[in-house]
Structure 1
Amino acid sequence: MADRDPKQLPASFLTMDIPDEAATRQIANDLALVLKAGDVVCLSGDLGAGKSTFTRALLRSFAGDPELEVPSPTFTLVQTYTFDRFDLSHFDLYRLEDPEELEELGLDELLQTGAALIEWPEMAGGLLPQDALWIRIGQPDEDTDARGFSFCSTAPQWRQRLELTRDIRAFVEQTEFHGAGRRFLAGDASLRTFETVEAGDRTAVLMRWPFQSGAVSETVRTYMQKVHLAQDCRAVIAIGGELRGHGFLAPQVFAADPEKGLVLSGYLGSETIVRNEEPVPERYRAAVDVLARMHGIAWPDTVDTGEGTTYEVPVYSPEALITEASLFLDWYVPETTGGPADEGTRKDFEALWRAALDGLEDAQRGWVLRDFHSPNLLWQQGAAGTDRIGLIDFQDTVIGPVAYDLASLTFDARADIAPELETALLEAYLSARENQASGFDKAGFSRAYAVMAAQRISKILGIFVRLARRDHKPAYLAHLPRMQSYLDRVLDRPAMSDLKDWYARYRP
């Protein structure tokens, strides 16, 4: 920890006049959305200024529980709350007798896995982290509950994060969800983040798309361009609108600000086609029906966004498919062998994949949603037909071999699909397609299915290792055994012998 004299804090970068306690709770709510593990938030103000009110509101917002019991840690000095996102520790240093006692309270250890909210930070005598956020709360007005809030920090990211959450709040206030409570929903493997926005009995989803704000390095941006990953939230608006236009259940867009990367859309629930971490065959079969119907439609290359512009759906080129499969070489091979793949190995790998993809020239092509698996397939209890499956996370849709999406489903990266269930789902799909059109090429589709499955599995093995090592998210390593088993299963398919021989030589 670096010494920090609270009397010598930098000038405030943001001051706000807060009219009442409800507005105080809203600020706490909005700050909770941008907290990260390792953060320290210091709350400074006289007795009765509202520090405890703010802290209580922030903890309840973070928990998503307005009734969360938040006792004052005046005598215990610290109270830690365990949450799925990360832990929060509430410190009250009013009775701290010696600043050195802060070390005994374990602040350093707590910040390794969580964040800290500290009342009476002045009592720490300058032993708090240099990059903490300080919030000074003025005394309430004599005639009202109005207070002045002042924010300061030496760390520029605090200004950026507070500007971000205020932009989102301003955006939401311009919609029918004004005054809504906001709650963190997701933000892990992707750079995008999601919130639920609740006003009365209505719920929406707020997506923030940060690519236009410098959040992506040139290396990442170049890779995204190479593999045709969307870099603009207009993709969500365009693809979702087209899906809805053809009768599929995609979230309705209530409001959008493409320049700031914000989209407010309908909430389709949180129940997926998995229950208690196990695939539900009925639900997977319903998802197969969605794909079969989707693959019987001629989808456009260009989509009207509804705002005077169009969106071009990119082609899933062989170069993109090989680049993705090469993540296996870039990340998985070094993880399991202790060293990078040499240039000769890489050339052999790319040549074999090019030959496999060349063999799919006659495969049916159409829209490929690209992540058609359990986290993105929301079960609609009581619905009928294809309305039983709500579709999300389709912004990276490309035009490519349609077998890819079926392979995404039957070799689900997040759920164990037994060989018997995979076979049943494949046969159900083939039967549905043959009933659609007498000329359906069953053999050609089966060949494309095997190749696309091997490509996706190779890609995901690389991505999961990359998330663990580069992005410090080791939980993804738990999925590797599932994907390794899938790869063994796929490589035993007909017409996969050349790739199977390569993997047998180079895969540990």
Structure 2
Amino acid sequence: MWEIDSAEALQALGSRLSAFVSERDAITLSGDLGAGKTTFAQGLLSALGVTEAATSPTYQIVHAYETPRRTVYHCDLYRLHPGDEEEIGFAEMCQTGAVVVEWPDIVADVLPEDRLDVRIEGEGGTRRVTLTGFGAWEKKLARFRQIEAFLARCGWAGARCLGLRGDASARQFMRLLRAGETAMLMDWPTQSDGPPIRDGRPYCAIAHLAREGTPFIAVSHWLREHAGLSAPAVTASDKDAGLYLVEDLGDAVFGDLIAGGEPLEPLYALAVDGLSAIRASGVPRSLPVPGGGLYDVPAFDREAMDVELDLMLQWYFRLEPTPADPAEMARSFVEAWSPHLDWLDKQPKTIALRDYHSPNLLLCRERGALKRLGVIDFQDAVWTHPAYDLVSLLQDARLDVPEAVERALYARYCEAAAAAEPAFDAAAFARAYAILGTERNTKILGIFARLSMRDGKHGYLAHLPRIRRYLWRNLAHPALGELKAWYEAHLHKA
């Protein structure tokens, strides 16, 4: 039970629950007239992305809102009688969007099994709010209570949620507002490692994907304190619960800025300078963890690269079938790649943030020098050749980087490296860039095909032509002749 002492606090509670609302969901609001059901709904709807001023749909019965992530229906059933729900298409609403229902007793017999009931009671300025989860909401409500306790320990009890952001991992971010100050809650619950795929080990272990927050904390600290970039400081954490309160770097994401008309090249030049700063900082393999201890950055070893490359064989060629015998194709694929991976293993290594591209780079306009560059999503950092992050940036999977811009910014990075390191080997760096670009784009072809075929996320298919163009750019390197021949034999150029 929550004791609420103001309309603002009631809206804030609704906003914090928004993190757990699925695309198709049901939230029922119970209480007497004037209890605050619509006030609670306003906080919830706003955090779900409803930009209109939400009012009670007493006379219209239903207000429908379209948000970037879902359709939201706000229903006030006070004027209906049991059975009337068919006239408003209540069952269809529950199947197509998130439904927030005031006076739910009218439709008690047809409510979804998975739902959250919010009961608001009390008079005057004080309200008692009781949350009851049914079906899937039992587990979600248990997690919500964990988060509420964590925020209370951090001094953020009662904060308002301003919006949600997720990424391709199991993490979710909630932007919080309290007394004019913002912070991000990183909700990173423990996940199953998935089924074993090689020698009894799951994909995440082989590919070195982080399972908890220590790498995030260690890498963020190095980027801020030694490389001079902006990375989210972790101000509070409960690693056992998978909860972290982190600095809010804002919303000026490179990809969004470029989509809004901002020139790509100056932003990417700043990002290239950020990579030069990371290289010049002399990153150690064992990173200090604030508060004590060290974090050993895992090697992007042969096994990790093998399992990533295999994604194309496992998924992409199911999307774009080839007449070749699968067993022979896999054998020749490994044979074509082997000498390049052997060569790469002998080259210099440093940290690679691994997803250094437009969705994970931000412009912090109010800061100076390289602090203007904000970096997020680096918890899966690995120890590999420094060309990895450069190719991630200059062959951005999410947007087109013109080849002339790629060449100019590649030269910018190499000039900085040569000025700082007289022994910098430009020819070897170019070869590593081509190999890692081929490896990364091969992996992405497999991942995007998997996201479509397995997860129903078909929007990723729009990126495939770009990925193939990047792939052929890399394969043009003269050292990759036999590998290029394999791709020419099996992969469509169009």
Which residue is equivalent to 1:285? 269
Q: TM-score, normalised by structure 2?
A: 0.91
Tell me which of 201, 211, 222 is aligned to 1:231.
211
How many correspondences in the alignment? 485
Deviations along 1:442-498, one digit per CA (max 9) or x if unpaired, are 000000000101111111121122222322322222222211221122222221222
Q: Quick one: structure 1 residues 201 and 113, their matched pair in 2 at CA, closer, same or farther if it must change by over 3 Å?
A: same
**Structure 2: how far apart are the matches of 1:491 and 1:507?**
12
Q: Which moved more, 1:116-125 or 1:300-309?
A: 300-309
Tell me which of 235, 247, 250 is aligned to 1:269.
250
Deviation of 1:64 (Å):
7.1
Which residue is equivalent to 2:138? 159
**Structure 2: how far apart are the matches of 1:350 and 1:105?**
59
Question: Map of 1:24-423 to 2, 5 A cutoff?
Answer: 24-63=10-49, 68-99=52-83, 101-124=84-107, 126-138=109-121, 140-141=122-123, 144-155=124-135, 157-210=136-189, 212=190, 214=191, 216-219=193-196, 222-246=202-226, 247-274=228-255, 275-277=257-259, 280-337=264-321, 342-381=326-365, 383-423=367-407
Preserved CA contact (<8 Å) 1:189 1:467: no
Residue type of the alignment partner of 1:46: D
Deviation of 1:382 (Å):
5.3
Which residue is equivalent to 1:493? 477
Q: Which moved more, 1:254-263 or 1:460-469?
A: 460-469
Deviations along 1:186-233, one digit per CA (max 9) or x if unpaired, are 1142211111122233222221111x2x45534598111101111110
**Structure 2: how far apart are the matches of 1:124 and 1:180?**
33
Q: Quick one: structure 1 residues 185 and 137, their matched pair in 2 at CA, closer, same or farther if it must change by over 3 Å?
A: closer
Over the residues paired in the alignment, what is the CA RMSD in angstroms? 2.3
Q: Quick one: structure 1 residues 411 and 184, their matched pair in 2 at CA, closer, same or farther if it must change by over 3 Å?
A: same
Q: Quick one: structure 1 residues 153 and 192, their matched pair in 2 at CA, closer, same or farther if it must change by over 3 Å?
A: closer
Q: TM-score, normalised by structure 1?
A: 0.89
**Structure 2: how far apart are the matches of 1:286 and 1:491?**
27
* DSSP-derived class of the 1:63 partner: coil
Preserved CA contact (<8 Å) 1:364 1:445: no
Q: Quick one: structure 1 residues 219 and 476, their matched pair in 2 at CA, closer, same or farther if it must change by over 3 Å?
A: farther
* DSSP-derived class of the 1:496 partner: helix
Q: Quick one: structure 1 residues 352 and 411, their matched pair in 2 at CA, closer, same or farther if it must change by over 3 Å?
A: same
Deviation of 1:340 (Å):
11
Q: Quick one: structure 1 residues 417 and 113, their matched pair in 2 at CA, closer, same or farther if it must change by over 3 Å?
A: farther
Preserved CA contact (<8 Å) 2:223 2:278: no
**Structure 2: how far apart are the matches of 1:30 and 1:166?**
11
Preserved CA contact (<8 Å) 1:322 1:354: no
Which residue is equivalent to 1:10? none
Q: Quick one: structure 1 residues 383 and 307, their matched pair in 2 at CA, closer, same or farther if it must change by over 3 Å?
A: closer
**Structure 1: how far apart are the matches of 2:490 and 2:11?**
56
Residue type of the alignment partner of 2:93: L
Deviation of 1:56 (Å):
2.1
**Structure 2: how far apart are the matches of 1:107 and 1:83?**
19
**Structure 1: how far apart are the matches of 2:440 and 2:91?**
41
* DSSP-derived class of the 2:86 partner: helix
Misfit runs of 4+, over 6 Å: 338-341
Residue type of the alignment partner of 2:38: S
Deviation of 1:360 (Å):
1.9
Preserved CA contact (<8 Å) 2:94 2:112: no
Deviations along 1:408-459, one digit per CA (max 9) or x if unpaired, are 0000111110111111111111111111122110000000000101111111
Q: Does 1:462 align with 2:446?
A: yes
Deviation of 1:271 (Å):
1.3
**Structure 1: how far apart are the matches of 2:320 and 2:88?**
40
Deviations along 1:232-277, one digit per CA (max 9) or x if unpaired, are 1011111111222212322222111111111212122221334342
**Structure 2: how far apart are the matches of 1:273 and 1:133?**
37
Preserved CA contact (<8 Å) 1:37 1:112: no
* DSSP-derived class of the 1:432 partner: helix
**Structure 1: how far apart are the matches of 2:141 and 2:349?**
45
Which residue is equivalent to 1:3? none
Deviation of 1:43 (Å):
1.7
User: Percent of aligned pairs with the same residue?
Assistant: 37
Q: Which runs of 5+ in 2 are unaligned?
A: none
Q: Which moved more, 1:222-231 or 1:248-257?
A: 248-257
Q: Which runs of 5+ in 1 are unaligned?
A: 1-14
